[in-house]
């Protein structure tokens, strides 16, 4: 495999790019950290932690808001139909990827970017931060779910063991084996699922969290049978870690990635789902 950049490298931006484009009229910057915004953040950024995306009325823990509620939320942070959105977090690309996936799923596919290295990378480059809250006008974004970017329990049950279908468990080994069942009724994994933990896509380089290069990443997925001609279904506990893997697969140019939004929160607590340990 030749040394090359990511096929969808436009989805990942560095701090220098953001510094150059920070005042672009149609750029919306989202701070997806769970804390720290009030103490300092990138200028013009708006706080949007992933917990704001959760539908707490849904019996499936962690499930995303419906179209109407998501529309209201995203309009409130000033996002329009033609916006380019850049999301950053603490560098682990968990929270940022959750926002990335949600926005792509609800209609902004190819319009969302993630800041490589997150807020620490911005600080390490020496760029200015602020404590001022950026004022925004209500956006005109309207959520429309893209059914080609999500998997349901029924979808998975209909495709178990299908040759062109790859179920990818990105949780810890103990969760996969059913040793750590968290707060679920059952432990284990979806039958036929291969495991590649989400964190294997990142590394720490000089105190900065980085995504592995194209060759190393692609090799990890291929070794686990994750090839481009398959429909890839990442899942975890509540599609946070799986959103990270969704982003990585998008970065690598995989054409058909459909995260399981319900993840183990649904599968591990349903009455009649098949489970392997």
* pLDDT tens-digit map of 5-31: 999 999 999 999 999 999 999 999 999
The gap from C-alpha 188 to its chain's centroid, in whole angstroms, comes to 23
The domains spanning 9-124 and 149-267 adopt the same CATH topology: yes
**C-alpha to C-alpha distance for 229 and 144, rounded to whole angstroms:** 26
The residue ranges of DSSP E strands in the chain, in sequence order, are 12-13, 27-31, 45-47, 84-88, 112-115, 150-151, 165-169, 194-195, 202-205, 208-211, 231-235, 259-260
Picking from 62-71, 88-97, 199-208, 232-241, which range would have the lowest pLDDT averaged per residue? 199-208
Per residue in 177-208, pLDDT (tens digit) is 999 999 999 999 999 999 999 999 999 887 78
Strands (E), 3-148: 12-13, 27-31, 45-47, 84-88, 112-115
pLDDT of 252 > 50? The answer is: yes
Q: What are phi and psi of 162, to 5 degrees?
A: -65, 140
The whole-model pTM stands at 0.97
Tell me the β-bridge partners of 31. 47, 88
CA distance 272 to 250: 32
Q: Domain-by-domain residue ranges, the chain? A: 9-124, 149-267
| Assigned superfamily of 149-267 | Rhodanese-like domain (3.40.250.10)
pLDDT band at 2 (very low <50, low <70, confident <90, very high): very low
For residue 3, the model assigns a pLDDT of 53
- Stretch 96-110: mean pLDDT: 98
Whole-angstrom distance, CA of residue 171 vs CA of residue 150? 18
The rounded distance, in Å, linking the Cα atoms of 272 and 170 is 22
150: its two tokens: 């999500």
The fold of the 9-124 domain, in CATH, is: Oxidized Rhodanese; domain 1 (3.40.250)
Please, are residues 33 and 95 in contact by the beta-carbon 8 Å criterion? yes
Answer yes or no: is pLDDT of 61 > 80.
Answer: yes
pLDDT at 28: 98
């Amino acid at each position: 495999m030749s040394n090359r950049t990511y096929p969808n490298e436009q989805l990942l931006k560095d701090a220098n790019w953001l510094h150059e484009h920070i005042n672009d009229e149609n750029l919306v910057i989202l701070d997806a950290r769970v804390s720290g915004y009030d103490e300092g953040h990138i200028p013009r950024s708006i706080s949007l932690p992933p917990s704001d995306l959760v539908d707490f009325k849904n019996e499936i823990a962690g499930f995303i808001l419906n179209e109407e509620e998501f529309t209201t939320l995203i309009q409130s942070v000033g996002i329009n139909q033609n916006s380019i959105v850049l999301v950053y977090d603490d560098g682990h690309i968990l929270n940022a990827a959750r926002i990335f996936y949600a926005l792509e799923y609800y209609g902004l596919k190819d319009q969302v970017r993630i800041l490589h290295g997150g807020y620490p990378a911005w600080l390490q480059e020496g760029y200015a931060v602020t404590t001022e809250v950026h004022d925004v006008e209500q956006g005109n974004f309207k959520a429309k779910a893209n059914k080609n970017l999500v998997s349901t329990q029924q979808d998975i049950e209909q495709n178990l063991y299908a040759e062109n279908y790859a179920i990818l468990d990105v949780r810890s080994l103990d969760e996969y084996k059913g040793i750590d069942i968290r707060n679920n009724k059952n432990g284990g994994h979806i039958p036929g699922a291969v495991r590649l933990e989400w964190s294997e896509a990142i590394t720490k380089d000089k105190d900065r969290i980085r995504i592995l290069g194209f060759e190393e990443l692609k090799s990890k997925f291929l070794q686990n049978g994750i090839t481009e001609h398959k429909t890839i279904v990442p899942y975890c506990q509540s599609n946070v870690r799986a959103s990270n893997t969704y982003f990585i697969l998008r970065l690598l140019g995989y054409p058909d990635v459909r995260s399981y939004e319900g993840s183990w929160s649904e599968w591990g607590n349903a009455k009649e789902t098949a489970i392997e340990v």
